[in-house]
A and B are shown apart, each in its own frame.
Chain A
């Protein structure tokens, strides 16, 4: 087990972000990773969590991991700068219940910042395309635009463009309908009619087009850009920022029967963990003979008890000798 895994495991039981940040294991780990910046980092993480009621309720480890991702990418977590954000997200658990976790969001400006820092981009920008501005609609040889031909305020699409230092240039276009479909496909909140896609559609559309463009295969991606794109909209599962899960892409529906079943199995497991009478367990097993999974759970407990009995008997014999 790596140190990082140990750190995550040992802190997973801490309930508040303050408690987590003051634990010795975390302090030590942060000192290793950030040196003398560790104290400033701790203060900013506590501040971020306290600014939002729902984030304050989020799993503290997920807040710490998301903040660490922003720090390793050297992106400030300041909403007014817009480089990166940490937002609370209700993640569905296996039993159908929900747990609030912190999600790392890379802002459009943050993405641009990472591209600039790579030193390979001469130009990178994205903008709305209004009705009349698109004069050639050919995705195979490339779209052409005339920005002076705007006929109305109706946005028909979004375009992203970059030119590299070596002169290579590339353009990417998506119709407004396709951007909207993308939002509905990947954002659980937009599907339900709220969230950033609903309130800040333009910003989300611009960010989406830049992200898709850079990730389409033509742009050279620095390590930081790759990491930023992978971490975007993810729940970061480790301090090193290498293990991500994407709650937005998960199926939103809950399997009710599965949730009830998980509860049932957990209840049985918890109950029999306190039973030490093998006969009672065997009778329970016979009552549940139609349910193979439950019988297996009971069998594990029976064998555990038998093993303990054997160990106790052996120990007694050794004592007597």
Chain B
């Protein structure tokens, strides 16, 4: 049986559990949905499959993103990709890069295309994730770094196969297909764009009062999870 009173929330879920209802005081619907998701995951290892192509690009290109950050911000110095999951009794997390010498954490986000890159900003999810990381590593600075990295060739090929299927052109020989193919190739390859335009730097400073807010909400969520009865959903 899970002891929910000791459950540590992942930094990536903090944005969801910190949402409030309209009164601004109680847990919001997004928070409750997240808690239900966590309950199923922890009790029966059931979870919603994540979108694959975006996730796949994120995993494969993570190192490219860190290298871009290294070239643009740290003069090419090798940045160690953190593999440690820290925990403090309330939350747990694994940031991308931790620079102990300057007390700073970087989290790279690999954008799927120019549109998602342009829109990438310090959303509530990323902000709470950053707050969580600074708390876990006890440091004062966090930087979110959305990156525009060329899509790996096999994912481009997947897109082209999908295009051929939708255009009913299995061999991919029609003029219309070829024109679209070129467009896809260009929209997924960013090497021609100067590197300094392919990395965003969005800083966040530590605010310890936010950590207190997290403790209050986590305590509430733990209580909610302990009392949760899935039969009420049926």
Could you tell me which A residues sit within 8 Å of B by CB distance? 53, 90, 92, 96-99, 192-195, 198-199, 254, 256-257, 259-260, 263-264, 267-268, 271-272, 274-275, 284, 287-288, 290-291
9 other contacts beyond A254-B154, A260-B62, A275-B78, with CB at 8 A cut-off?
Answer: A194-B170, A263-B61, A264-B81, A271-B67, A274-B76, A284-B78, A288-B80, A290-B84, A291-B83
- Report whether A272 and B78 are in contact in the complex, using a CB–CB cutoff of 8 Å: yes
- Report whether B63 and A260 are in contact in the complex, using a CB–CB cutoff of 8 Å: yes
How far is B178's CA from A98's CA once the two chains are assembled, in angstroms?
20
- Report whether A193 and B165 are in contact in the complex, using a CB–CB cutoff of 8 Å: yes
Closest approach, in angstroms, between the C-beta of A183 and any C-beta of chain B? 14
Contacts of A90 in B (CB 8 A): 153-154, 157
- Report whether B81 and A96 are in contact in the complex, using a CB–CB cutoff of 8 Å: no
How far is B161's CA from A198's CA once the two chains are assembled, in angstroms?
14
- Report whether B63 and A98 are in contact in the complex, using a CB–CB cutoff of 8 Å: no
Closest approach, in angstroms, between the C-beta of A313 and any C-beta of chain B? 27
Residue from A99, A256, A268, A274 whose CB has the most chain B CB atoms within 10 Å: A256
How far is B202's CA from A318's CA once the two chains are assembled, in angstroms?
56
- Report whether A260 and B59 are in contact in the complex, using a CB–CB cutoff of 8 Å: yes
How far is B55's CA from A166's CA once the two chains are assembled, in angstroms?
63
Closest approach, in angstroms, between the C-beta of A92 and any C-beta of chain B? 7
A256-B171 in contact given A98-B153, A271-B76 (Cβ < 8 Å): no
Contacts of A256 in B (CB 8 A): 56, 59-60
- Report whether A199 and B170 are in contact in the complex, using a CB–CB cutoff of 8 Å: yes
How far is B81's CA from A290's CA once the two chains are assembled, in angstroms?
12
Interface presence of B152 (CB below 8 A): yes
Contacts of B83 in A (CB 8 A): 290-291
B interface secondary structure, majority: helix
Contacts of B164 in A (CB 8 A): 194
Residue-by-residue, is B55-90 near A (CB-CB < 8 Å gives 1, otherwise 0)? 010011111101100100000101011011000000
Could you tell me which B residues sit within 8 Å of A by CB distance? 56, 59-64, 66-67, 70, 76, 78, 80-81, 83-84, 152-154, 157, 161, 164-165, 170-171, 178
A263-B63 in contact given A272-B78, A291-B83 (Cβ < 8 Å): yes
Q: A96 touches which one: B70, B152, B178 (CB < 8 A)?
A: B152
Residue from B60, B64, B154 whose CB has the most chain A CB atoms within 10 Å: B60
- Report whether B152 and A284 are in contact in the complex, using a CB–CB cutoff of 8 Å: no
Closest approach, in angstroms, between the C-beta of B121 and any C-beta of chain A? 26
A-B pairs with beta carbons under 8 Å apart, 13 shown: A97-B153, A98-B157, A193-B165, A194-B165, A194-B170, A195-B170, A256-B56, A259-B60, A263-B63, A264-B81, A267-B78, A284-B80, A288-B80
Contacts of A53 in B (CB 8 A): 178
- What residue in chain B is nearest A271 (Cβ atoms)? B78
How far is B14's CA from A1's CA once the two chains are assembled, in angstroms?
60
- Report whether B170 and A198 are in contact in the complex, using a CB–CB cutoff of 8 Å: yes
- Report whether B80 and A194 are in contact in the complex, using a CB–CB cutoff of 8 Å: no
Contacts of A284 in B (CB 8 A): 78, 80
A263-B60 in contact given A96-B154, A97-B153, A254-B154 (Cβ < 8 Å): yes
- Report whether A287 and B80 are in contact in the complex, using a CB–CB cutoff of 8 Å: yes
- What residue in chain A is nearest B70 (Cβ atoms)? A271
- Report whether A194 and B78 are in contact in the complex, using a CB–CB cutoff of 8 Å: no
- What residue in chain B is nearest A288 (Cβ atoms)? B80
- What residue in chain B is nearest A261 (Cβ atoms)? B63
